[in-house]
Structure formats: C-alpha cells, structure tokens
C-alpha cells in the first residue's frame, strides 16, 4: 500500500484587512491532506528575528457567539492587540474546532458538561481522545515564511513541545491569560490541573 504523501501547505490568497485591532495581512493557506484552510494573520512579520506568534484553534461558540464557557475569544483578541502593540507578529488560525472533534461533537460535549462531565470526560464519553489536534500546519507555515525562531503566546505545554518537535525554536513563552468567570472557571481549572496548562496566575 502506498504511504500518504507528506503534509504540504501552499499560499492560496492574501490581502490586507483593516480590523478593530489595526491592519493585518490575512494569508490563506491550503494543504494536500484536508479541505481545511489555515489562516496566517500577520503584521510586519519579517521585522522581528523571533516574532510573537499565537497558534490558535477555532472556537465558533467563543469567537462568534461570545460564549462565556471558554477563554478562546479573549485569547484571540489579546494576541491581536499585543501584535499591534509590539509592531510585529502573527496569529496562525487552525480550523480545529473543539480540539479537533468538530462543532457538532463539541456541542454534544457541552450538553454532557451541562449534565456534570468535565471537558475531558465529555470527550471520552463521546469516544474521542482528550485532544485530537496537531500543530504541523502551523510549523509548515512558519517555515514557508522562513521563520525558525518564535516567541510563543500560549499556556499549553503541548503546543510548545509540538512546535519544538517540528524544528521551531521557542525563545520565550508569553502567557495568554483571560478573565475567570463563573462559566469558564471549571474549564480553566481542568485545563490547569489535568492538562498542565500554565494558568496558575488566574487562580
């Protein structure tokens, strides 16, 4: 049997977009293994030796609906503001809704969470692993831009490890801390205690 060809990304389209945070160059990448489009949202990216980068996974409920159950919307906004403040950097936006299980299954997981399961138990009850994401598309897009050294904006140790394994040097980790509320408290605590996310300053 033929082994699948290695993942490759290629730039499909690019345009400047004015946003409430400032102007960004929005670059859409396609790949040879999925229908998903990955988006690089950058500002003066080539100006820094080790640019400020957030690798962010899609969250319809948080980013579009303003759901209070997670920290995704705040984290995305914080990173876009920080990029403009620093004068350089990028968000790589991966279409990995619900840690890779998709929106339909994430809403099933939310129903289970409303009945008492935590974010990890709900995934397992639906027959999924804790986190199905991979960060190889992000690493390939950085390589496409000739970037091999970054400042990474995350609390997630898996993201650090994964990008390092793809040959990206992380010169610094900048935390991404949003506000705790009554709806996201348990979720954030579970990420901190069971997944080792560096969220201690919030509690």
Ligand X SMILES: Nc1nc2c(ncn2[C@@H]2O[C@H](COP(=O)(O)OP(=O)(O)OP(=O)(O)O)[C@@H](O)[C@H]2O)c(=O)[nH]1
Please enumerate, by residue number, every residue annotated as part of a binding site.
54-59, 70, 72, 75, 97-99, 119, 154, 159
**CA atoms of 123 and 39, how far apart (whole Å):** 26
Count residues near ligand X (CB under 6 A): 23
In contact, 120 and 195? CB cutoff 8 Å: yes
Residue 49-88 contact track with ligand X, rule CB under 6 A, x = bound: -------xxxx----------x-x--x-------------
Dist. CA 14–CA 157, nearest whole Å: 31
Q: Which among 71, 73, 133, 137 is annotated as catalytic?
A: 133
Which range binds ligand X by CB under 6 A, 5-13, 28-36, 41-49, 153-161? 153-161
Tell how strand 169-174 and strand 89-94 pair up. unpaired
Tokens found for residue 135? 């960060």
62, 181 contact by CB (below 8 A): no
Q: Which of residues 50-89 bind Zn ion (CB under 5 A)?
A: 59, 62, 70, 72
The whole-angstrom distance between residue 134's C-alpha and the CA centroid of its chain comes to 10
**27/96 with CB nearer ligand X:** 96
Helix pair 136-144, 157-165: axis angle to 10 deg: 50
Binding residues for Zn(2+): 59, 70, 72
Q: Is 122 in the site for Zn ion (CB under 5 A)?
A: no
Active site residue 131: yes
Per CB under 6 A, which of residues 164..183 are in contact with ligand X? 176
User: What is the separation of C-alpha 99 from the centre of its chain, rounded to a whole number of angstroms?
Assistant: 9
Residue 41 is a binding residue for ligand X (CB under 6 A): no
Which residues here bind Zn ion, judged by CB under 5 A? 59, 62, 70, 72
């Amino acid at each position: 049997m033929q082994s699948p060809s290695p993942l490759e990304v290629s730039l499909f389209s690019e345009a400047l977009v004015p946003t409430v945070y400032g102007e960004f160059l929005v670059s859409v990448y396609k790949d040879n293994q999925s229908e998903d489009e990955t988006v690089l949202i950058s500002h003066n990216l080539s100006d820094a030796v080790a640019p400020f980068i957030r690798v962010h996974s899609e969250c319809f409920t948080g980013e579009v609906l303003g759901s209070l159950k997670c920290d995704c919307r705040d984290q995305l906004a914080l990173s876009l503001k920080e990029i403009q403040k620093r004068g350089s950097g990028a968000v790589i936006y991966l279409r990995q809704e619900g840690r890779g299980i998709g929106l339909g299954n994430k809403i099933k997981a939310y129903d289970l969470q409303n009945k008492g399961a935590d974010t990890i138990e709900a995934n397992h009850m639906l027959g999924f692993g804790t986190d199905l994401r991979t960060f190889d598309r992000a690493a390939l897009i950085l390589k496409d831009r000739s970037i091999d050294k970054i400042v990474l904006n995350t609390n997630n140790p898996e993201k650090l490890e994964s990008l390092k394994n793809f040959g990206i040097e992380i010169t610094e980790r900048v935390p991404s801390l949003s506000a705790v509320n009554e709806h996201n408290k348990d979720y954030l605590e579970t990420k901190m205690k069971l997944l080792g996310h560096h969220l201690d300053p919030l509690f």
